[in-house]
Structure 1
Amino acid sequence: MNLEELKIRLKIPADNTKQDDYLKVALEDAIEAVQDYCKDSFVDPDTNELKLPGGVKQAITKLVESYQEKGNVQSQSLGDMRKAFFEGGSLNVVTRLLKPYVKKKVKFL
């Protein structure tokens, strides 16, 4: 996953480069967090390239979005438009998306 794909997933026009430096750092942070959480590098052993499944890419995108959220907002309205937030909401979605990709620890007795 690269900056270009992240911007597509976030619906940010390719020619809008105002946030590119921030998004690059946030993308790196999110990928690392997902790799740690899943206990998987997602690196193809044959090509040594990062191969992220679609669900993992969705989780990374949600994680980058959550970095930008204002955490204490309960609800926000502007005219007829209303948006509500709840604590941990985005992170709950990320956790659900990553659940199938988490490698289980194997214990030998």
Structure 2
Amino acid sequence: MTLDELKIRLKIPIEDTSQDAYLQIVLDDAIDYVKQYCRQTFDEGLPPNVKQAVAKLVKAYQENSNVASQSLGDMSKSFFEGGTMNEVHRLLQPYKKVRFI
């Protein structure tokens, strides 16, 4: 997954390079997490659902996950514990290799 593809998934204009260094670092972190969680290297490239999970992880890194509720005027946004990770793990479940002991 490239930085440009991540920016498209996060609805950040490609021309906006103000966050590129940060985004590249968290993109690498998210891909590393996914590879470890799935126990795969994804040598053929990341499938679309895995890319979606990576983008959700990056977005979660950007947001303050300690906020239980947030409101601004008529707009309200609530977070619940583990919501993002539950969604990420749901997307990754088909790609997770089972470890035999």
Q: TM-score when scaled to structure 1?
A: 0.88
Q: For each residue in 1:17-66, what CA deviation from the matched residue of structure 2 results, as whole angstroms up to 9, or x when unmatched?
A: 1110000000011111100000000003xxxxxx1101100000001111
Please identify the structure whose Cα radius of gyration is greater: 1
Report the AA paired with residue 53 of structure 1: P
Structure 1 unaligned segments of length 5 or more: list them: 45-50
Report the AA paired with residue 16 of structure 2: N
Distance 1:59 1:13 in 2: 20
Residue 81 of structure 2: aligned partner: 87
Q: TM-score when scaled to structure 2?
A: 0.94
| Match runs of 1:1-109 below 5 Å | 1-44=1-44, 51-106=45-100
Report the AA paired with residue 10 of structure 2: L
Between the two structures, name the one with larger relative contact order (CA 8 Å, sep ≥ 6).
2
Paired residues, number = 101
Structure 2 unaligned segments of length 5 or more: list them: none
Percent of residue pairs bearing the same amino acid type = 58
Residue 47 of structure 1: aligned partner: none
